[in-house]
Amino acid sequence: MLAGNRGPAGSAEAHGTLAGGPAHAAEPEAADAELAAARAAWARLREVESVTVTVIVDNETDGLSTPCRCCDPALDPETRTPYVSEFTAGVQAGHGLSLLVEVTAAPSTAAQPPEGGGGSSGGEERRVEEEAASVVFDGGPSEELWAANVRRLGLGLERVGGAVLSHWHVDHSVGLAAVAAAASASRAAPCGDAPGSCAAALAPFVFDVHPDRPLRRGLLLSAGAKPVPFNEDVSLEALAPPGCRVESHAEPHTLLSDLFFVSGAIPRVTAFEAGQPGHATQGRDGLWRLDPHIMEERYLAVRLRGQGAVVFSGCSHAGIVNVVTHAQQVSCGPVFAVVGGLHLASRPMEARIPETVAALRQLAPRRILAGHCTGWRAKAALAAAFPDTFQPCLVGGTYRFLAPQLPPPPEQPPPPGQSQPPRDN
Ligand SMILES: [Zn+2]
Ligand SMILES: [Zn+2]
């Protein structure tokens, strides 16, 4: 099933020949360097104890269906991946994706320098409070939808450090203008009583984007046809109001105190995940070129203690099998969960469903939370193939991933001269 090459599957279209489009296959040395860079960034990534995902925008709303077995607290009160649906807030669906991803890191111990300084040796250990960080992953297709759903869900951006854009498509980028407006307002708010609510204490909100923002994207359905342009992506200026700034990264990196990982380019190793037929990009020279591979798409990931990587994929234009394969190679470990759009809707994409399901069986992520552009045929196939691990990603829903419970600490013997307190049982 895996073709073994690191570039896109070859075809006339794959190389975007209408106006001499770019070739995307990385040379072996460059591919090795990219993987090494990704592994170096992953090595800095810290483990987290919990991941909470709130779906602000998704194609589908369904507040009534029960969760799959492994995500249902009613069936498994001890579940470490509980899902809670939302029915009463009145959130609305729309073609696109926006997630709020919140993580907590374990309290850690750090050496306390002895009084009077002199380095860390000989100091007492002090307990560091649990750390939390949050990002918005993509902004959905419209400012109004994002702002309305955030209001209905009662979410705020005071404690959110930034936003990551998966790729330059309007159903992911346009709503980021509303994220910027909300983040700017949160940074400009006067000091309140709650700890950390003072605007002066808040760091700038960072929009993490790929530098290859296209002039325009659209469809070229045949060589002589007129391009069908999509709407325009959000502008960089709209993402930089007071209190916000834009950071462009093509390379893999971490953010927010090394609690989140953003991949670089995703190698295309499967033969059947051959990009989006007819997808085109307008270059600075005004010419439209076939661009089926959308190479700037990145995934977001976190490292969940004791479980593995939790991967967030916006549209999976690389193919979800390529995404999971890359995440496994980068993390040198299992992918515990994939969350996001698998882009298996539309006629040419639906033909890839059987091979995708078969490959996911081999890769064996233990949770598949598919939404957005996955499509109902793929969702049905995934639900049939993975009845206990597939869970639709639905607007308003809250999905949690919790690290395994730690065993209780061993009992300490009482200090000399003190007796053991009596036990209750
Ligand atoms: Zn897309
Ligand atoms: Zn999309």
Q: Encode pLDDT of 75-102 as tens digits.
A: 999 999 999 999 999 999 999 999 999 9
Whether residue 245 is predicted with pLDDT greater than 60 in this model: the reply is yes
The continuous run of DSSP H or E covering 391 comes out as: strand 390-392
Q: What pLDDT, on the 0 to 100 scale, is given for residue 190? A: 64
- 301, HSE (Cβ side, Cα atoms, 13 Å): 36
Distances (CA, A) of 385 to 2, 193, 271, 351, 388: 20, 51, 22, 16, 9
Task: Find the range with the poorest average confidence among 13-22, 58-67, 234-243.
Answer: 13-22
Other Cβ atoms within 10 Å of 188 Cβ, number: 12
Q: What pLDDT, on the 0 to 100 scale, is given for residue 188? A: 85
- 359 Cα: distance to centroid of ligand 2 (angstroms): 22
- 297 Cα: distance to centroid of ligand 1 (angstroms): 8
Q: What pLDDT, on the 0 to 100 scale, is given for residue 24? A: 53
Whether residue 16 is predicted with pLDDT greater than 60 in this model: the reply is no
Q: What pLDDT, on the 0 to 100 scale, is given for residue 238? A: 98
Mean pLDDT (the chain, rounded) = 88
Shortest CA distance to 9 belongs to which of 260, 276, 224, 372? 276
Q: What pLDDT, on the 0 to 100 scale, is given for residue 11? A: 33
Q: What pLDDT, on the 0 to 100 scale, is given for residue 112? A: 47
Residue 115's pLDDT band, with cuts at 50, 70 and 90, is: very low
| pTM check: above 0.95 | no
Distances (CA, A) of 410 to 406, 407, 414: 11, 9, 12
32: tokens are 């090795």
Residue 2's pLDDT band, with cuts at 50, 70 and 90, is: very low
Mean pLDDT of 293-304: 98
105: tokens are 């890191």
- 423 Cα: distance to centroid of ligand 1 (angstroms): 60
- 193 Cα: distance to centroid of ligand 1 (angstroms): 41
Q: CA 349 to CA 287: how far, in whole Å?
A: 26
31: tokens are 């591919």
For the chain, domains (ranges, CATH) are 31-107+128-401 (3.60.15.10)
- 126 Cα: distance to centroid of ligand 2 (angstroms): 46
Ligand nearest to the CA of 138: 2
Whether residue 200 is predicted with pLDDT greater than 80 in this model: the reply is no
The fraction of the chain above a pLDDT of 90, given in percent, is 76
Whether residue 305 is predicted with pLDDT greater than 60 in this model: the reply is yes
Q: What pLDDT, on the 0 to 100 scale, is given for residue 119? A: 39
